[in-house]
Chains A and B, each alone.
Chain A
Amino acid sequence: MFKNFLKVMFRSLTKNKAYSFLNIFGLAIGITCAALIFLWVENEVNYDAVHVKKDRLYIARENQKYDTYVFTHQSTPGMMGPAIKAEIPGVANVCRTSESTNSLLYSYNNKPLFAGTLYAEPSLFSMFTLPFIAGNAASAFTQLHSVVITQKTAVKFFGTDKNVLGKSIRVDNKQDYTVTGVLKDMPANSSVQFECVMPFQIYWDNSPWLKSWGNNSLTTYIELKPGVDPKSIDKQLYGFIQKREPKNLGRVFLFGMTDWHLYNDFKEGVKTGGGQIEYVHLFSIIAWIIIFIACINFMNLATARSEKRAREVGVRKVLGAGKKSLALQFIGEALFMSFIAAVLAVILMALVLPAFNMLVQKQLTIGFGNVYHILALLGLTVACGLIAGSYPSLYLSSFNPVAVLKGLKLKDSSAAYIRKGLVVMQFSVSVVLIISTVIVYQQIQHIKSRNLGFDKDRLLEIGLQGDMAKNYAPIKQDLLNSGFVQNVALSDHSTIYGGNNTSGMTWDGKAPGSEILISQRYVTPGFFETSGLKILEGRNIEEIDTASKPIAMVVTQSLAKLMGGKGSALGKRIHYEGDTTAAVVVGVVNDYVYGNMYGKPDPVMFFSSSPEHTDRMYVKIKAQQPVEASIAAIQNVFKKDNPAYPFEYRFVDDQFNQMFLSEMLVSKLSRVFAALAIIISCLGLFGLAAYTAERRIKEIGIRKVLGASVSGIASLLSKDFLQLVIISCVIAFPIAYWAMHTWLKTYQYHIDMQWWVFATAAVSAMVIAVVTISFQSIKAALANPVKSLRSE
């Protein structure tokens, strides 16, 4: 029996090559697409899975409550870690690290190289899963000037990861460090990332501010003993800092490693349950939708072609085939096609994986060594086969043998309606995707073209290295002399990012009890001109202000409003609570967006700084100068004035774009998915149009004999399909509107939806449908009627 089915299937597949191709290719695209998405999802969901103790590892976070919002961050006081370990019994271990990796200059054999370096306590190696391939955790940090590097870093420094233990390498052109360990490279989906790690003690010794309970500037990781409930620890952490510093706003709590990547979204100090997980959900849904669209194609084509197979069903029934065996036969066919599609999909995946990796910025592999991958692909294939085969098999196996053998036209309107319904569903999804794609794109463009208040174009950020601060004056002069540079200034913070803020300031007339977060920035004169901030009132910062008493400062407009009330803020004073040293407002600049690109920025105070207290330089390139040549000229200046260090720079523009990575990903992926959904839908529509034309070939012949024109017939054939597309739009519009409305609401700064986006989507869906159908319609309309009538 099975052999017989196989034979019939093979022969009918090879006989109807175009049909088979449409079916299998459609499914293959669907499976490829879904499989790629699931690879991505797997990678996301398994974030930090390498860390054996992931269920017991936490990062200490802090909530700080202000007037308008709760600020949740993960910077903690330097004194806190050891105190927690000593005082809270459920804690197994604590590890303090620097907040991020610092780019340090290493030189081996006079070859200078930067490497991202973390400072960490030795417990790092036992808490996180970081296997040594040379050296060991116990002895790695017994000496102060030691450094543990990853395999990749070893290759980068020494050209090999063999026999590098004990090698000496110079850091920052000052101190020699000994390589005391080589770590296996950590996977990209691990939260702990560094190229080199050095003893925390070094950082501690060089950072006196760490010793205060009021300064949050390092990360504290906590490992709990097995079976300890983090909630019970949270209770003890809530007032932990306040025991030492009663007025401190920071409320510490534990944030579990399994949530770091996917659920890192806080509102009002509480985990929202959102974060990257929302994208994981979104893309999983999209994967299934695409699979479903591909299956719909299959169903459509299979039922459309059913008339051709009706006779076979009839004969089989006359000869005694039961409904069940027929249904199984057709399900079997669908499964078989789905398997061919899966094989094709694997080939397609191998071809597009590099491009997909570029798109999602990951290094995913198909990984056939992984049993789960095989099982997942198998599952997906079977699911496809079952979904795709379900309706056709029920439909075909229920044919009445008397009717089909008599050659009754299968008028069966319910099947026709279902077929139309399926096409409508496909096109609805496509239209929703088109609309969403456009709106996501618009929103991102909207934010990117937001007036930030400063000018990020042609603005270079250069980290201060070596003696650049000391030689600032001549370097600045050389840069200006080069003719390419308009302005140069220094700052202690990146203009575009957040950081270093305080709520401890007060002034006359400040509402009692209100907590306002204000950022502090130390800059050199010329900073406003360089970054394009406008002085609205008062004067610029000057060099002498570094020593002026009271301290002179320039504030942003929003702070000026708070301090000045209805009048001017100029001359008003501000000071730390409980401290009499005051700063006076000498100028006001416009507000500018930093930190959160979608939100309203906090106020900023600018103070004049000497070059030594800054750590980055901003260089504005002249408007009319070509960028490439300007960079070359700037590089030349640094080669001459700071020869010991390689020249490294970043465009503020790029930093800005970096902040939209996940939005860009959504935008790009939604574009790809929309295109794929449309392509798959069109494959189906193409097949259906071909089928309709074939079915009506006699009618067309008669109409032509009676004098119908080619265009008349082509439009006759297209009309029905266009109706379907219009219905799809009617269904898609409210869904798209609702979905996009919900999405846009998550942004404070967002666009309003415009009707023309919907209109454009409708028109493009129609144009695409017409182009797809017209090939078949015109072919049918042009056919010689004598031929089609005789063949009947």
Chain B
Amino acid sequence: MIKITNLEKFYRTEEVETIALNKLSMHVDTGEFVAIMGPSGCGKSTLLNILGMLDDPDEGSYVFNSIEVAHFNERKRADLRKHNIGFVFQSFNLIDELTVFENVELPLIYTGVTTAERVKRVEEVLDKMQIMHRRNHYPQQLSGGQQQRVAIARAVVNKPKLILADEPTGNLDSSNGNDVMELLTDLNEQGTTIIMVTHSEHDARYSHRIIRLLDGQTVMENIMV
């Protein structure tokens, strides 16, 4: 599903140039659950943002579902993204002014789903995440674990082929963290490809494969058994 070759990303500020990704190559197959690990600052988030087409690489190739997307413009990327990719962030990133229901509904609005269909699908996914009873609450009225469940609901409501999760358990205690990992595993078992950045060896064990980064390069791959 994903194949990147010699990917490079630089950050230039006035004084220094940081190489966030240094000729990185890797691939992810459809249906895989991959964990990305590595020390702080090694380029994990940068990689995930590029994979999610939120950011573009400076050099190298990125093939998504057999399409070369490295040099897509913003509109094309947005188009591809909204139909194929769901995001889960460490800090949830829910919109404070919208209720649980409305937050989850948002991706459907952008892909142009009809109102009746939206209600059906949002309710379905809220049910699955067991936060149906909170549908009319605002994010600030929920616990961290509940907020992350809403975020995951929002990420999957469009039935994306790929879910990108950047430290999804980073702001949660271990029991809430485990719930989130169970949810992701379920989704994976139903066929969704998942790429997750994590600092926790415990969480990484849920995945099929761990890619370890150091200074913007892959240093090791562990296949889980």
Contacts and interface: CB of A to CB of B under 8 A. Distances in A.
Q: Answer yes or no: do A and B interact.
A: yes
A315 B95 contact: yes
Contact of A319 (B74, B75, B82): B82
A423 B89 CA distance: 38
Contacts of A325: 110
Nearest to B110: A320
A321 B110 contact: yes
A111 interface: no
A1 B106 CA distance: 9
A75 to B, nearest CB: 72
A131 interface: no
B159 interface: no
A314 B106 CA distance: 13
Interface centre among B49, B79, B95 (most CB of A within 10 A): B95
B95 A312 contact: yes
A11 interface: yes
A402 B110 contact: no
Interface in B61-106: 74-75, 78-79, 81-83, 87, 89, 91, 93-98, 102, 105-106
B54 interface: yes
Nearest to A404: B93
Given A1-B109, A4-B102, A320 B97 contact: no
Nearest to B75: A322
Secondary structure at chain A's binding surface: helix, strand, loop or mixed?
A: helix
B82 A7 contact: no
B111 interface: yes
A322 B78 contact: yes
Secondary structure at chain B's binding surface: helix, strand, loop or mixed?
A: helix
Interface in A289-333: 311-312, 314-323, 325
Given A320-B110, A405-B89, A15 B97 contact: yes
Contact of B54 (A312, A316, A401, A407): A401
Contacts of A4: 98, 102, 105-106, 109
Contacts of B97: 7-8, 11-12, 15, 312
Contacts of A12: 97
B123 interface: no
Contact of B78 (A312, A321, A402): A321
A11 B55 CA distance: 31
B87 A320 contact: no
B79 to A, nearest CB: 7
Interface string A696-727: 00000000000000000000000000000000
A315 B150 CA distance: 14
A12 B97 CA distance: 6
A402 B94 CA distance: 15
A742 B100 CA distance: 63
Interface centre among A319, A322, A405 (most CB of B within 10 A): A319
Nearest to B138: A11
A744 B105 CA distance: 65
B78 A311 contact: no
A318 B55 CA distance: 11
Interface in A356-411: 401-402, 405-407
Contacts of A323: 74-75
A149 B59 CA distance: 91
A35 to B, nearest CB: 32
B49 A315 contact: no
Interface centre among A312, A317, A405 (most CB of B within 10 A): A405
Given A4-B109, A319-B110, A314 B93 contact: yes
Contact of A320 (B45, B81, B98): B81
B150 to A, nearest CB: 12
Nearest to B115: A3
Contact of B111 (A315, A320, A401): A320
B82 to A, nearest CB: 2
Interface in A8-42: 8, 11-12, 15
A305 to B, nearest CB: 13
Contacts of A407: 91
Nearest to A320: B82
Nearest to B48: A402
Contact of A7 (B52, B93, B96, B102): B102
B6 to A, nearest CB: 21
Nearest to B74: A323
Given A318-B87, A321-B78, A405-B89, A7 B98 contact: yes
A467 B48 CA distance: 106
B57 interface: no
Nearest to A311: B93
Contacts of A1: 109-110
Given A311-B93, A405-B89, A405-B93, A319 B98 contact: no
B75 A315 contact: no
A337 to B, nearest CB: 16
B168 interface: no
A133 B105 CA distance: 68
A42 B39 CA distance: 71
A319 B107 contact: yes
A8 B97 CA distance: 6
A402 B55 contact: yes
Contacts of A318: 52, 54, 81, 87, 93
Contacts of A317: 54, 78
B127 to A, nearest CB: 21
A353 B179 CA distance: 66
Given A1-B109, A320-B110, A402-B49, A315 B102 contact: no
A581 B131 CA distance: 114
B93 A315 contact: yes
B195 to A, nearest CB: 15
A171 B163 CA distance: 99
A323 B77 CA distance: 12
A137 to B, nearest CB: 68
Nearest to B93: A315
Contacts of B102: 4, 7
A320 B107 contact: yes
B55 to A, nearest CB: 5
A8 B98 contact: yes
A407 B111 CA distance: 27
Interface centre among B79, B93, B102 (most CB of A within 10 A): B93
Contacts of A315: 93-95, 106
Nearest to B81: A320
Nearest to B108: A319
Contacts of B91: 405, 407
Nearest to A314: B93
A320 B93 contact: no
Contacts of B96: 312
A105 to B, nearest CB: 74
Nearest to B80: A320
A405 B49 CA distance: 11
Contacts of A7: 97-98, 102
Nearest to A5: B109
A8 B78 contact: no
A31 to B, nearest CB: 27
A322 B55 CA distance: 14
Interface in A509-550: none
A323 to B, nearest CB: 7
Contacts of B89: 405
A7 B87 CA distance: 24
Nearest to B92: A315
Interface string A321-349: 11101000000000000000000000000
Contacts of A314: 93
5 contacts: A8-B95, A8-B98, A11-B98, A319-B154, A320-B110
Interface of B: 45, 49, 52, 54-55, 74-75, 78-79, 81-83, 87, 89, 91, 93-98, 102, 105-107, 109-111, 154
Given A322-B74, A401-B54, 15 more contacts: A4-B106, A7-B97, A7-B98, A11-B97, A312-B95, A314-B93, A315-B93, A315-B94, A318-B81, A319-B82, A319-B106, A320-B107, A323-B74, A405-B93, A407-B91
Top 5 A-B pairs, shortest CB-CB distance: A320-B82, A320-B110, A11-B97, A8-B97, A319-B107
